[in-house]
Homo-oligomer: A and B are copies of this chain.
Amino acid sequence: MPRKVCVVVTARPSYSRIKSALTAISGHPDLELQLVVGGSALLHNYGNVSQDMKDDGFDIAARVYMVVEGENLITTAKTTGVALVELATLLDTLKPDVVVTVADRYETLATAIAASYMNIPVAHVQGGEVTGSIDEKVRHAVTKLSNLHFVSTDRAAERVIRMGEDPDTVFVTGCPSIDLATAVLKRPQLDFDPFTQYGGVGATFPLSDGYLVVLQHPVTTEYEKAWEQVSETLWAVHESGLPAFWFWPNVDAGSDGTSKGIRVFRETEPSSRIHFYRNMRSEDFLRLIFNTRCVVGNSSVGIRECAFLGVPVVNIGSRQAGRERGSNVIDVGHDRTSIQTAIHRQSEHGRYPPSHLYGDGTAGQRIAELLACRELTFEKRLTY
């Protein structure tokens, strides 16, 4: 009987980071995929990812609404609680042999807790990395709740082991997001019209003269600060002279402030050559960034996928602080002058040599193989 592997996906970025593993799991003869979709992955405002999943041929075993609206600190905690209540009932119904949880979001933590209390082994993808903000606490807490660790880098593996995890349970698989990028590299040209294909709002412009791609998430829950920070980036991009594709932020404490900043900017500067999207299919998105002059913002895409693709990145603020990075990244603070200068430098520089820091494109396959053959246990003990 195949092992039942339950994967909980709750946001667009998590989907990109696990998709190749989903494909490998559902294609593996000894595994059966139970795909659970929740959180912002179900919400129109955040680009209903569940539709993409269906288009990609995945069956959705269950969908769980869990986001308590408010996008602040309190509601983030509450969302984790609602997720936990729901996932407990769900795991009791699905009875998986192992649960896979991705990265460091609040739903990641809820998934790991529900499975742990229900004596279901937990496999964690992307543990052992170091960043700023609450994600840092959550990521390592999830490591302590997990029984299998599929990490992206050697440094990450070393950290997970130093935290007291049994080395026999830690595997450097690389990040599955790199698998997608590998596939895209085989046919990297921008073979679709982003304006007609994805709608969105704002300016249209020719792509031939070069363009920026911006992804900026709130790092702070102070409404005013999130607003101010996104405004600095908006003005820097506007004044860079390059048109830009801009992606709306995740549901998170502070995203309200970010959205407000964007809305106000759009009213103030209607002539700005920025086009806004809520979402895009991962492969198309990767083609879009492969062909950009520079990626701007604070998304981990700039650190991971862009390293592999050799795309120049202007990384703003503290959100990615501590994460290993390639030579393609320039770090700047939240002021428009520094951002603009760095954009200029990166868009002049052109593509960097690719780096295999976050994987070689086989992560999904390796994860599926390990889930199929490794002993599954829910008990563990600190190694020291």
Contact = CB atoms under 8 A, between A and B. Distances in A.
Interface string A246-272: 000001010010001001001100000
A87 B45 CA distance: 25
Copies of the protein in its oligomer? 4
Interface stretch (A7-15, A129-137, A306-314): A129-137
Q: Is the interface of A mostly helix, strand, loop or mixed?
A: helix
5 contacts: A45-B69, A74-B92, A77-B114, A84-B84, A159-B382
- Contact count band on A: 35 or more
A140 B76 CA distance: 22
A85 B85 CA distance: 9
Interface string A81-117: 1111111111111000000000000100110011011
Interface string A118-152: 11000000000010111011101111110000000
Interface stretch (A17-25, A60-68, A181-189, A345-353): A60-68
Contact of A137 (B82, B84, B380): B380
B62 A117 contact: no
B145 A251 contact: no
Contacts of A93: 62
A300 interface: no
Contacts of A381: 130, 132, 136, 322
Given A68-B68, A162-B384, A164-B162, A88 B92 contact: no
Interface in A42-88: 42-45, 62-70, 72-78, 80-88
Interface of A: 42-45, 62-70, 72-78, 80-93, 106, 109-110, 113-114, 116-119, 130, 132-134, 136-138, 140-145, 158-159, 162-164, 201, 221, 223, 251, 253, 256, 260, 263, 266-267, 322, 379-382, 384
Contacts of A65: 68-70, 72, 74-75, 78, 89
A62 B44 CA distance: 29
A163 B163 CA distance: 4
A88 B88 CA distance: 15
B134 A144 contact: no
A159 B256 CA distance: 40
A141 B158 CA distance: 18
